[in-house]
Structure 1
Amino acid sequence: MPPSCEKSLMRIMPPMPPLRSHTRLPLYHDFLLTAVVASSRRCISTGARQSDAPTETYEATRLKSLNPRPRKPLTKEQRDFLSSALRVNQTGELAATLIYTAQTPPLVNAHPHLRPLMAHMYDQEAGHLKTFNSLITKHRVRPTALYPLWSLMATGLGWSTAIMGREAAMACTEAVETEIGEHYNNQIRSLLEMFEQWEAEGYEVGTEFRDLISTLRRIRDEELEHLDHAIEHDAKEARPYWLLTSLIRAGCRGAIWTSERV
């Protein structure tokens, strides 16, 4: 090409930029690469933290299981309270089964429709008695020394109120269950106060004590169910209602007080 033509061509065409090495990424690729690397680092870091989290939780749980909270030994007063509670509860449930046993024949003969109700209440009381028989045996609690006396009095109360009529028999149930329900409430309240004190001091409340609370609540609720049945079947129509229920309730309180101690 003539020199004049070459010069003309150079004036028309802009100069070409210097060639980059094929191994070097363009500038915008460099920018994206930086972002991708940073994102990858964040992902790796996050993944590491997530994988460590279960390990920390497991380790904390393992240490906690190796160092459980201690359990506070019972004081003499607390042991005496629990022993008297189990003793009087067993006595009360024995009396209840004997009352229903004595009431059922004359009451069902006169009012056959009451047979299912009497059987239902008796079965529940028998279950309560079985529970407390098991507990006093397990914990080696001495039963009341007045077992024969309470048995005789409960049988006499059941038979005499049934002879007086359906309303008197139901009034007897109402009076007895009113006192028994209040008695169980007092026991539950005392135990809950004891447990709250232990937990405030950093002690563990054992499963056995929590099971005892659940048992007392269940039995109390069933006793109060009997109270409702008695009222539904005209307990308040008994004559003389006030005198009859007052005497029975006073007798129950006396039996509870005595059985806690003897």
Structure 2
Amino acid sequence: MSTSRTLNNAKNNGVHNDPYPNSSHIPRSASEALSRPAPRSKPLTQAQRDFLASALRVNQAGELAATLIYTAQTPVVVASHPHLRPLMKHMYDQEAGHFSTFNSLIAKHRVRPTAMYPVWTIAASALGWGTAIMGREAAMACTEAVETEIGTHYNDQVKWLLGMAEQMEASGEQLGDDIKGLISTIRRIRDEELEHLDHAVENDAKKAVPHELLTSFIRAGCRGAIWVSERV
């Protein structure tokens, strides 16, 4: 029985004196509640708010780019390889879902989107179309490179959030549903991005020519775009 119910029952029974004259009469659950108050909820620090804002901003931008890459690649790739239509649609649909998720989180937390939106829109479309023109292997190598960087990026975010959660809980603070939900969401999205990486490798991404040069260039571009989007 909770403390509030004990107080209410005493009041309803006409008992107006101290409801706990003898602590031995207190139910174990109520006694523990009295000795262990609920963790307090404390506002995030400025550094934590800044991290969350930059994380949501860059994640939204990255998912926008992913949808545009697949939008540009799909018609060209599917025209030559019709059997890849379901796979391309599956990957696009997941990326569109990720983009929608971060759009909602951006609005919910009132985070300013990156000012680089127009630039990333053009760059992602050009990258998707250009690699598709180079052939199926190059298109898959593009996915391999992008998802390698994005998977690492999301993994770093999860580690940071788990560290923050551990610190909050160690100091007796309550971990809010927003933080719990964000950790779960980014974990799920990270796993889906890494699934795309596996699909790309299974479909001959490593056979792209020149593979190392192409993937290194794309990965460097992704790292640069992440760095800029976090800040601008």
TM-score by length of 1: 0.77
Shift of 1:225: 0.1
Question: Which of 59, 77, 80 is residue 30 of structure 2 equivalent to?
Answer: 59
1:183 lines up with 2:146 in the alignment: no
* Structure 1 runs, 4 residues or longer, greater than 6 Å off: none
1-side partners of 2:164 and 2:78: how far apart?
45
Deviations 1:24-47 (A, max 9, x none): xxxxxxxxxxxxxxxxxxxxxxxx
Distance 1:106 1:56, change over 3 A: same
The worse-fitting range, judged by mean Cα deviation, of 56-65 and 134-143 is 56-65
Deviation at 1:85, TM superposition (A): 0.2
Q: Deviations over 1:123-177 (max 9, x none)?
A: 0000000000000000000000010000000000000000000000000000000
Name the residue aligned to 1:145.
115
Distance 1:138 1:63 in 2: 35
Query: What is the identity, as a one-letter code, of the residue corresponding to 1:113?
Result: H
Percent identity, aligned pairs only, is 70
After TM superposition, list the pairs within 5 Å mapping 1:153-172 onto structure 2: 153-172=123-142
Distance verdict in 2 for CA 1:56–1:90, change over 3 Å: same
Matches within 5 A, 1:34-53: none
1:48 is matched with none
> Could you say which residue in structure 2 is the equivalent of 1:122?
92
For the residue of structure 1 that corresponds to 2:27, the secondary structure is helix
Change (3 A) 1:257 1:54: farther
Return the alpha-carbon distance in structure 2 between the equivalents of residues 180 and 189 of structure 1. 14
Alpha-carbon distance between aligned partners in 1 of 2:129 and 2:28, rounded to the nearest angstrom: 64
Cα deviation, residue 106, structure 1:
0.6
In structure 2, which of residues 26, 43, 57 is the aligned counterpart of residue 73 of structure 1?
43
- 1:195 corresponds in structure 2 to 165
Which letter maps to 2:102? F
Q: What letter is aligned with 1:118? A: M
Report the CA distance between 1:61 and its aligned residue. Answer: 6.3
**Could you report, residue by residue, the CA deviation over 1:160-205 in whole angstroms, capped at 9, with x for unpaired residues?**
0000000000000000000000000000111111111111111111
* Whole-angstrom distance in 2 between the partners of 1:89 and 1:54: 54
Structure 1: give runs of 5+ residues left out of the alignment: 1-52
| CA-CA distance at 1:76 after TM superposition | 1.1
Q: Give the alignment's TM-score, normalised by structure 2.
A: 0.87
Structure 2: give runs of 5+ residues left out of the alignment.
Answer: 1-23
Aligned: 1:230 with 2:173: no
Displacement of 1:72 in angstroms is 2.5
Residue 95 of structure 1 is aligned with which of 57, 61, 65?
65
Mapping for residues 200-219 of structure 1, pairs under 5 Å:
200-219=170-189
Q: What is the rounded CA distance, in whole Å, between the counterparts of 1:54 and 1:126 in structure 2?
A: 58
Two-structure CA RMSD over aligned residues (Å): 1.6
